[in-house]
Amino acid sequence: MSKAKVIDGKQIAKDVRASLNPRIDALKAKGVTPGLAVVLVGDDPASHVYVKMKGKAFKKLGLVSETLRIPGNISQDELIKLIHELNQDDKFHGILVQLPLPDHLDEQIILDHIDNDKDADGLLPASMGKMVLGMEGPLPCTPHGILMLLKHSGIETSGKHAVVIGRSNIVGKPIANLLLQKRELGNCTVTLCHSRTKNLQEVCQQADILIAAIGKPEFVDRDFVKKGAVIIDVGVNRVDAPEKKKGYKLVGDVNYSDVEEVASAITPVPGGVGPMTITMLIYNTVYLAEKSLEN
């Protein structure tokens, strides 16, 4: 039995970044270097690793990326004051507040103070509203990255049935919305599933494109998958692996070895959706820098 084509997120991320070089050069010729400010509060280990990766990716393209490391006990008012200062700083075209924040801080209130013109994550209410209406604006990074994976893999979306498992504001709801829109990489019939969906396996078996974003290790096996379906695995879960030097390994929401014999194409974990999220953050920062010249 032939195995699924592997959708190589690392290579596609490189290709998308390379395609940004002419736009970056054009901006620099006008005296503008796209810049991102990352606000990192507290000492969440995963956040520190992720932010370090972001910084390296920006530096490699000759872009500005500055991480502001803030003590975990900062007050909400102090953090809001800092964001207002970043809003006024022309060096930064995008602002990213790394989540999760410590429990005493209200994430939505904090994010609402970021200037809409500096929404690097594409997740502020104004950006999400534009996305839903099909208007131009920065798109949420992970959903946008998924679209790029489909595009660069030559996967047709028009007329296909896409099933999304997970209804988060970061992945599930926006990717469902983008896939149903009348646009390139859209025109799908979309079913959005979640923890209350009945007969989940049966619904997923109807999918031409199945997107798993639920945070449950290897939850989706071959019983969820129609033969020939395209599988996009957004999950990154740390599971115990005593045989590994670190004592753990990363797995997706999909049981890769089980599903790869049924699917036509599949994203690995790691190396699938993950590299695209940082790439689309760069994409958004370049886009916001271009927009800053129009204002």
pLDDT tens-digit profile of 249-274?
Answer: 889 999 999 999 999 999 999 999 99
The full set of domains in the chain, from first to last, is 31-115 (3.40.50.10860), 139-274 (3.40.50.720)
Contact partners, residue 14, CB within 8 Å, separation at least 6: none
Q: 59 near 36, Cβ under 8 Å? A: no
Q: What is the pLDDT of residues 5-38, one digit of tens each?
A: 999 999 999 999 999 999 999 999 999 999 999 9
Q: 73 near 133, Cβ under 8 Å? A: no
SS3 assignment, position 207: coil
Q: 110 near 102, Cβ under 8 Å? A: no
Phi-psi map region of 6: left, alpha, beta (phi>0 left; psi -120 to 50 alpha): beta
Say whether pTM exceeds 0.85.
yes
Q: Nearest to residue 166, comparing CAs of 174, 157, 154?
A: 174
Record the tokens describing residue 224, joined without a space.
Answer: 């969820």
List, as one string, the DSSP characters of 233-291: E---EEEE-TTSTTSEEEE-SB-HHHHTTT-SEE--SSSSHHHHHHHHHHHHHHHHHHH
Contacts 24+ apart (CB under 8 A), 128-134: 128/169, 128/174, 131/174, 131/177, 131/178, 132/177, 134/181, 134/182, 134/183
Record the tokens describing residue 17, joined without a space.
Answer: 């970044």
Contact partners, residue 201, CB within 8 Å, separation at least 6: 223, 224
**pLDDT tens series, the chain, 295 aa:** 579 999 999 999 999 999 999 999 999 999 999 999 999 999 888 788 889 999 999 999 999 999 999 999 999 999 999 999 999 999 999 999 998 899 999 999 999 999 999 999 999 999 999 999 999 999 999 999 999 999 999 999 999 999 999 999 999 999 999 999 999 999 999 999 999 999 999 999 999 999 999 999 999 999 999 999 999 999 998 888 888 888 888 899 999 999 999 999 999 999 999 999 999 999 999 999 999 998 6
Q: 219 near 204, Cβ under 8 Å? A: no
- Cite the active site residues: 54, 98, 121
List, as one string, the DSSP characters of 81-142: HHHHHHHT-TT-SEEEEPSPPPTTS-HHHHHTTS-GGGBTTS-SHHHHHHHHHT-SSPPPHH
So what's the pLDDT on residue 1?
Answer: 56
Record the tokens describing residue 157, joined without a space.
Answer: 């979306």
Cα atoms in the Cβ-side hemisphere of radius 13 Å centred on 3: 10
Q: 193 near 203, Cβ under 8 Å? A: yes
